[in-house]
Amino acid sequence: MNDLDRLKAFDEFVGSRDALFHYTKLTTAIERILAEKRLRLGLLKDTNDPREYQFKLLGMTGGRLPPEAQELYDQCHTVLDSISRFECRMLCFCTNERARIRQKNGGLLEDPIQSVSGWAKSRMWSQYGESQRGICLVFSRSSMEAEFEKRIGSIAWKRCGPVEYTIEERMDCHSLNVDGNSLVQEGVAHYCARHVKENTHDLFFTKHVDYRDESEYRLVVRDPANAVEYIDVSSSIRGIIAGDRTPEVYFPILKAFSRNLQVEARQAHWDRGKSHLLLLRRKEEM
């Protein structure tokens, strides 16, 4: 493939459904992700969304509950919190797709505002990409899912998919209520594990509509033994995009990584408000 075809192929890829985008700090990209060729899965407790990182107070439902139900219910708080916020790990990306917004009637509506490309989200650059000084890494969704499946294997449970956004201020009550009768029948450990698994969508794949511009995609796994802290990305990475303010002194390092990984290296640039993907070149090279 000649240089022109290579550039065209990358431009087409970053606009495709298969493209995933991960914004990060410059040092994290260079010293960790690119150097080690792996991504670290994060915990729910370490997100910046209060609907996710905070402890969730549960309720209990059920009629004619046996006396031991209250004691078991009290134990549920700690166990469910431990599973959801400390045992479940996830990878988070942006996509090119429009956000899906859940309506009060339960239906889904695509965000009517046309979303920008996954690499050109100004707020993501500001929040996660060191105010345009960081890096946006480009991955293949299909390759990432294949590596995720290979790495996770049969560990507990896992799920991949887009995040949905809700206009509701409160989380779904079903995910925050304990069935007292089932709890007594199954025991705390079994019931709590099943409860989190069955409510994975509400706990991990639903966020408030304020976050819709992220058009987020997640890979989630329950990993109580902490066996899958990292995922190898050598087969799924497709590109390295420097920010509009990324210091040029790092360009040779980024180019060296792109050659080593055989991926494209570019720079995001804004001209009169419009985003462009430029070749990664120092000013003296232009």
Calculate the average pLDDT of the chain.
91
Residue 145 has pLDDT above 70, yes or no: yes
Tokens of 186: 């199954």
Encode pLDDT of 32-80 as tens digits: 999 999 999 999 899 989 888 888 878 888 888 888 999 999 999 899 9
What 8-state DSSP symbol labels residue 96?
Answer: S
CA–CA distance, 264 with 54 (Å, rounded to integer):
39
Contact residues for 136 (Cβ-Cβ < 8 A; gap 6+): 21, 22, 23, 24, 119, 124, 125, 129, 241, 243, 268
pTM: 0.93
Encode pLDDT of 186-235 as tens digits: 999 999 999 999 999 999 999 999 999 999 999 999 988 888 899 999 99
Query: First CA to last CA across the chain, in angstroms?
Result: 23
CA–CA distance, 240 with 242 (Å, rounded to integer):
7
Look up the domain containing 79 and give its range. 3-285
CA–CA distance, 157 with 197 (Å, rounded to integer):
7
Please state the domain count of the chain: 1
User: Angle at Cα 75 formed by Cα 73 and Cα 77, nearest 5°?
Assistant: 80
**Which one, of 157, 36, 136, 34, lies nearest residue 90 by Cα?**
157
CA–CA distance, 167 with 173 (Å, rounded to integer):
15
Share of the chain above pLDDT 70, in %: 97
